[in-house]
Amino acid sequence: MVLVDMVGGRDPQFRPEGNSTPWLRDLVLSSARRLGYRDACPSGGALSVEDDHLPFLAAGAPVVDIIDFAPFLRGYHHTAEDRVDRCSPDTLAMAGRVVLATLGELERRLKN
């Protein structure tokens, strides 16, 4: 299960999400870095968030939460500062490319 949440912000910080299945989280991050998005995907310790992927995880499905932590880290998540002018079509496109690359890699692995 791939959850794509809050992926439209400017200057994103797609850090590893701690409740995600490690191999799938690593696959997403490696896809992003392979596509040249290293700055948007800093390495380091995982940050955990309670999100819509948790019921799928509890049911035994591999899950990954692709989420931009910048709104949390910069303090504007769910505040009056959480505005549309903080959004970026380029970041949305980047997230879409990463998801497509990850799905392509999953397909290749399933065929082998």
pTM over 0.95: no
Four-point Cα dihedral 91, 96, 102, 104, nearest 10 = -150
Spell out the per-residue pLDDT of the chain, length 112, in tens. Answer: 999 999 988 889 899 999 999 999 999 999 999 999 999 998 778 899 999 999 999 999 999 999 988 877 787 778 898 888 888 999 999 999 999 999 999 999 999 8
- The per-residue pLDDT for 44 is 79
> Nearest 5 degrees, angle CA 21-CA 25-CA 29?
175
- 47 lies in which domain range? 2-111
For residue 22, give the CATH number of its domain: 3.40.630.10
The structural domain count of the chain equals 1
Q: How far is CA 67 from the centre of its chain?
A: 4
CB under 8 Å to 47, separation ≥6 — which residues?
A: 15, 16, 17, 18, 69, 72
Could you give the angle at the alpha carbon of 97 between the alpha carbons of 47 and 44, nearest 5°? 25
